[in-house]
Amino acid sequence: MTQILKRITWFNQINVYLISTPQGPVLVDSAAPGMFRWLVKSLRKLGIVPEQLAGVIVTHFHIDHVGTAMALQKCGVPVYALSTEIPIMMGDAPHSGYGGTVGNLLLMVEQLFFGKPSFLGVQSLSAGQKIFGTDWRVVAAPGHTPGSLALYNENTGDLLSGDTLVSDFGCPRANLSLFTADRQRLVESALNLMNLEPKYIHPGHGKTLPLLAYAKAQQQLRNL
């Protein structure tokens, strides 16, 4: 079947992806808190209401990726994440944190404003698993958070990289920002994703990156 991929973007800063599956449309990531109305409106333009979604897969538990997932869950949409990330999402394990003192301060402010998550439950995904009867395969990408995931479609060469690879003026690079919990693991995961040699990288933030853009970045990563 054709597996349509659409990017729903908020000014290229925050991306949500929509993939078609035999079980219905599936969202990958869910933007930030307060963006539910924007998301519903964006979906409506594509002829979709939230209740039609077969699921929302979150690439990792950061506020700008899970922001509307709880609201979607209230519409009956199941939330999916890599098994490693679920205890953190359910509040059974501590937040993986942001780097350094500034990162800790940011996390404190974030938790002050948005409180603790209250997911009704999160469905578990495993590395290597194909999702919803499609060719999209789950790839574990620990580092940015312990349970970060990417989705790769071998048939089309599309990679949804979450926050493991981000756009740097049209070139993908490993996300070594202070929001990354474990930079060394992140580099390994970023290299692993590059080694899949995707035709297109669709990051959680920024524009889609075509094949030719990343050869240089791949070389740089190898030299780290």
Interaction site with Zn ion (CB under 5 A): 62, 163
The CA distance from 90 to 73, in Å, is 14
The distance of closest approach from Cβ of residue 61 to Zn ion in the complex, given in angstroms and rounded to an integer, is 8
- Helix 183-195 to helix 215-222 angle (10° resolution) is 130
Q: Which is nearer to Zn ion, 111 or 219 (CB)?
A: 111
The distance of closest approach from Cβ of residue 153 to Zn ion in the complex, given in angstroms and rounded to an integer, is 22
The distance of closest approach from Cβ of residue 192 to Zn ion in the complex, given in angstroms and rounded to an integer, is 17
Place of tokens 């500034």: 102
Based on its alpha-carbon atoms, the radius of gyration of the chain, rounded to whole angstroms, reads 16
Q: Which residue minimizes CB distance to Zn ion?
A: 62
The distance of closest approach from Cβ of residue 186 to Zn ion in the complex, given in angstroms and rounded to an integer, is 11
Mapping DSSP to helix (H, G, I), strand (E, B) and coil, where does residue 216 land?
helix
Longest pairwise C-alpha distance within the chain: 49
The distance of closest approach from Cβ of residue 50 to Zn ion in the complex, given in angstroms and rounded to an integer, is 23
Q: Which is nearer to Zn ion, 62 or 185 (CB)?
A: 62
DSSP line for 124-137: EE-TTPBPTTSSEE
Q: Which is nearer to Zn ion, 96 or 208 (CB)?
A: 96
The distance of closest approach from Cβ of residue 60 to Zn ion in the complex, given in angstroms and rounded to an integer, is 6
Q: Which is nearer to Zn ion, 54 or 193 (CB)?
A: 193
Q: Which is nearer to Zn ion, 16 or 54 (CB)?
A: 16
Tokens of 80: 């999916």
Q: Which is nearer to Zn ion, 62 or 173 (CB)?
A: 62
Q: Are 117 and 70 in contact (CB under 8 A)?
A: yes
Q: Are 204 and 9 in contact (CB under 8 A)?
A: no
Mapping DSSP to helix (H, G, I), strand (E, B) and coil, where does residue 1 land?
coil
CA 99 to chain centroid, in Å, comes to 19
